[in-house]
Amino acid sequence: MAAVRAFSCELNWHGRRGFFIWLSNDHDGVVLNAERSVRLFDSLDSLSRFAAAEGLTLIEDTPSFWDFDNVLAWCCDPRPPVDCSHLLNTWNMLADIHASRGKANDLLSYADQQGRSVYEKLFWGCNLPSVTPEGQRFDPIWSAEECKSLARLLRLGLAELEAAMPASPKAG
């Protein structure tokens, strides 16, 4: 089993800011509270104190920022340009939050499989150096239907995010 790597994250969802911990090891996920909701913190300091008390070493000092409101806005008017890296990272984080809650066999997982071609287009559109031949670049052309399909899948993930949010951030 790989060692757990912990990362601080900040989110914006419905205008609400909060901090959470993303864990990466054999199975990526987020720290949950007793109600199996995302454990949110009102400050980076309270998140850091919690991590230390739990024996988690945060890998980076600066939290990654997840602007789910921005993604929702794109979903309300899905059209090019498609920011492949931003939307792929969001898709993956939503899937990790969902899986953390033990929801691996329901609608989001099904949709994730159905959206494989859209996911692959996002992936290749990121032009990751490890998989993109030197000197080449893939700039996908997105049809209106593909944008709508991607928006439907992301909206489903955002609905799951809504279900995973606690009533209010805790000081930790």
More confident position, 135 or 37:
37
Map tokens 């032009």 to a residue.
Answer: 127
Beta-bridge partners for 58: 6
Q: Token pair of 171, please? A: 């000081």
The whole-number pLDDT of residue 113 equals: 63
**Has residue 162 got a pLDDT over 80?**
yes
The whole-number pLDDT of residue 23 equals: 96
The whole-number pLDDT of residue 15 equals: 94
User: pLDDT tens across 41-99, in order?
Assistant: 999 999 999 999 999 999 988 999 999 999 999 999 999 999 999 999 999 999 999 98
The whole-number pLDDT of residue 39 equals: 97
DSSP 157: H
The whole-number pLDDT of residue 27 equals: 85
Confidence of residue 146 (pLDDT cuts 50, 70, 90): very high
Q: Token pair of 122, please? A: 């996002």
Straight-line distance from the first to the last Cα atom of the chain, in angstroms, rounded to the nearest whole number:
28
The whole-number pLDDT of residue 171 equals: 46
Confidence of residue 168 (pLDDT cuts 50, 70, 90): low
* Secondary structure in 3-state letters for 14-44: CCEEEEEEEEECCCCEECECCCCCECCECCH
The whole-number pLDDT of residue 112 equals: 60
Query: Can you tell me the distance from the alpha carbon of 93 to that of 10, in angstroms, rounded to the nearest whole number?
Result: 12
The whole-number pLDDT of residue 129 equals: 81
- In order of 25, 37, 72, 83, 105, the CA distances from 141 in angstroms are 34, 37, 21, 12, 32
The per-residue DSSP string of 93-151 comes to HHHHHHHHTT-TTSHHHHHHHHTHHHHHHHHHHT--TTTSPTT----PPPPHHHHHHHH
User: pLDDT tens across 83-140, in order?
Assistant: 999 999 999 999 999 989 986 545 455 556 667 888 889 998 998 888 888 888 888 9
DSSP 82: -
Give this prediction's pTM: 0.87
Query: Can you tell me the distance from the alpha carbon of 163 to that of 38, in angstroms, rounded to the nearest whole number?
Result: 10
Q: Which residue type does 43 have?
A: S
